[in-house]
């Protein structure tokens, strides 16, 4: 029997993420607030997984979705395009940002990455280089859970069960994670040069003529907690790719679409990608939607060759999903919400520093815009993380829920096994007062979690 009104689902036929845990049922949302079936309210300070960038219950988006469902929900892309798909693509790449001129719409971040990997390979096939089967990604990365995207991901925990059956044409180099991997005596420029040399060495090991693409998150999200690259890192790595004719695939699924203070993170890095994956903030969680943004360079290769992307899904470019995302993007533009992310992002950073800057168990406060994280340690003197068996992230999640706060904590920050962090990712329309409340509740939760160990 299952009870919707009780505090937790007592017996459920949903295969949840854990068969051992009972999950609270969320029944409604309004702005930052979620209401659970037992009447409790929780502040959603991470938009789930950095998704709900307009908060919950937005009437305009709900109406746009409903209107499109009534007008025309679905046609197959083998036969027809739709007005919402055309309009959304125009909105995203009509002005050719960074040379990106086409959008391929899918239903998740993983599908967007899967599409990126396939299109990167097809690009080389079209140009007469089918031997370019190798992809280089980074350790401590997450690109999705489908087979290709997981093979690209460099996170031991997420790969673990499937390691024996993952594709073997992916290899991984070090991430740009200065807090953990740049010794103090090394300058930032030397660190970047060391990482560029490592990528170059990996190209040489594989044979540069065999590499299809280099794949990276411009700001690492869930696996390490809002780790931005050192200045010049992406420019140096782009140069290595260009030297060897490999494509640059940027995964902005979590960090992009305004979350980090600009529409695209690469605008802050001085590079442009050949292929870019976006998802979460694109539809703000009102509809499941991801997109692969494609540069004209790749379109040209396809166009000069077979002219058809050998890939597709039944639900690609779904009209209702595209209509929802158009409304989301219009609201972000009309209300100048990316400006809010920039200015209040600084406020959030300052508020986190005020509250946690001297905290005995917080080693680092990092991120950009409304994409910020705390990294936790047993002791600030040694920066030694909690032992993985402590499960600090899980404890913090529970303690936060007890004070009415939903956040996005994760373990394995440093190397996939050790380390803990939490991501704070409020909606783009959050106010100073919202941020004050979030930081205050987070403070109580972190103190309670640290005390309990």
Ligand X SMILES: Cc1ncc(COP(=O)(O)O)c(C=O)c1O
Closer CB to ligand X, 126 or 217, in the complex = 217
> Which residues are at the interface with ligand X (CB under 6 A)?
49, 108-110, 113, 142-145, 217, 221-222, 251, 253-254, 279
Q: How far apart are CA 224 and CA 375, in angstroms?
A: 9
In the complex, what is the shortest distance from the CB of residue 277 to ligand X, in angstroms, rounded to a whole number? 7
Residue 352, classified by CB atoms within 10 Å of its CB into exposed (0-12), middle (13-18) or buried (19+), is: buried
Q: Which is nearer to ligand X, 222 or 292 (CB)?
A: 222
Residue 383, class by beta-carbon neighbours within 10 Å (0-12 exposed, 13-18 middle, 19+ buried)? middle
Residue 185 neighbours by CB under 8 Å, 6+ apart = none
| Nearest C-alpha neighbor of 124 from the set 247, 274, 273 | 247
Indicate the residue among 377 and 407 with the shorter CB distance to ligand X.
Answer: 407
What residues contact 452, with CB distance under 8 A and at least 6 apart?
Answer: 395, 399
Residue 253 beta carbon to ligand X: minimum distance, rounded to whole angstroms = 4
Distances from the Cα of 364 to the Cα of 15, 132, 292, angstroms: 36, 39, 32
User: For residues 58 and 110, which CB has a smaller minimum distance to ligand X in the complex?
Assistant: 110
Query: How near is the Cβ of 119 to ligand X at its closest, in Å?
Result: 16
Q: In terms of CB distance, is 217 or 420 closer to ligand X? A: 217
Burial class (CB in 10 A: 0-12, 13-18, 19+), 299: middle
Which C-beta is closer to ligand X: that of 254 or that of 338? Answer: 254
Nearer of residues 199 and 291 to ligand X, judged by Cβ: 291
Task: Give the separation between CA 363 and CA 311, rounded to whole angstroms.
Answer: 44
Q: Supply the angle between the helices 432-451 and 337-356 in degrees, to the nearest 10.
A: 40
Minimum Å gap between C-beta 278 and ligand X is 10
Which residue's Cβ lies closest to ligand X? 109
Q: Shortest Cβ distance from residue 149 to ligand X (Å)?
A: 6
The least CB distance from residue 39 to ligand X, in Å, is 30
For the CB of residue 294, give the shortest distance to ligand X in the complex, in Å: 17
Q: Helix, strand or coil for residue 44?
A: strand
The residue among 425 and 435 lying less far from ligand X, judged by its C-beta, is: 425
Q: What phi and psi values does residue 70 have, to the nearest 5 degrees?
A: -75, -40
CA atoms of 253 and 249, how far apart (whole Å): 12
* Nearest approach, Cβ of residue 407 and ligand X (Å): 15
């Amino acid at each position: 029997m299952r009870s919707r009104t009780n505090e937790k689902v007592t017996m459920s036929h949903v295969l949840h993420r854990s068969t051992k845990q009972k999950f609270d049922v969320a029944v409604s949302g309004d702005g930052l607030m979620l209401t659970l079936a037992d009447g409790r309210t929780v502040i959603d300070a991470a938009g789930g997984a950095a998704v709900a960038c307009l908060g919950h219950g937005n009437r305009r988006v709900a109406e746009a979705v409903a209107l499109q469902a009534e007008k025309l929900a679905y046609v197959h892309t083998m036969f027809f395009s739709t007005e919402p798909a055309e309009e959304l693509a125009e909105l995203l790449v009509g002005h050719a940002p960074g040379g990106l001129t086409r959008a391929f719409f899918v239903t998740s971040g993983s599908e967007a990455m899967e599409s990126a990997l396939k299109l990167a390979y097809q690009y080389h096939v079209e140009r007469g280089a089918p031997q370019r089967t190798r992809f280089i990604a980074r350790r401590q990365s997450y690109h999705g859970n489908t087979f290709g995207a997981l093979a690209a991901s460099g996170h031991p925990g997420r790969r673990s069960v499937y390691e024996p059956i993952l594709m073997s044409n992916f290899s991984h180099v070090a991430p740009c994670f200065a807090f953990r991997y740049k010794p103090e005596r090394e300058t930032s420029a030397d660190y970047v040069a060391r990482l560029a040399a490592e990528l170059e060495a990996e190209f040489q090991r594989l044979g540069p003529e065999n590499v299809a693409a280099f794949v990276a998150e411009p700001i690492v999200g869930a696996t390490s907690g809002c780790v931005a690259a050192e200045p010049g890192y992406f420019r140096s790595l782009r140069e290595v790719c260009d030297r060897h004719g490999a494509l640059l695939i940027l995964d902005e699924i979590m960090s992009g679409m305004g979350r980090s203070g600009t529409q695209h993170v690469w605008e802050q890095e001085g590079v442009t990608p050949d292929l870019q994956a976006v998802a979460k903030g694109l539809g703000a969680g009102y509809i499941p939607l991801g997109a692969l943004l494609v540069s004209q360079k790749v379109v040209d290769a396809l166009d000069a060759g077979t002219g058809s992307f050998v890939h597709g899904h039944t639900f690609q470019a779904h009209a209702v999903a595209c209509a929802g995302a158009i409304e989301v993007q219009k609201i972000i533009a009309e209300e100048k919400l990316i400006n809010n992310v920039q200015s209040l992002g600084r406020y959030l950073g300052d508020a986190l520093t005020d509250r946690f800057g001297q905290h005995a168990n917080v080693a680092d406060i990092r991120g950009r815009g409304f994409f910020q994280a705390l990294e936790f340690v047993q002791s600030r003197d040694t920066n030694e993380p909690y032992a993985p068996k402590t499960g600090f992230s899980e404890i913090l999640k529970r303690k936060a829920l007890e004070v009415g706060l939903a956040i996005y904590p994760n373990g394995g920050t440093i190397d996939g096994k050790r380390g803990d962090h939490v991501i704070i990712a409020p909606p783009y329309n959050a106010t100073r007062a919202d941020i004050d409340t979030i930081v205050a509740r987070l403070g109580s939760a972190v103190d309670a979690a640290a005390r309990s160990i």
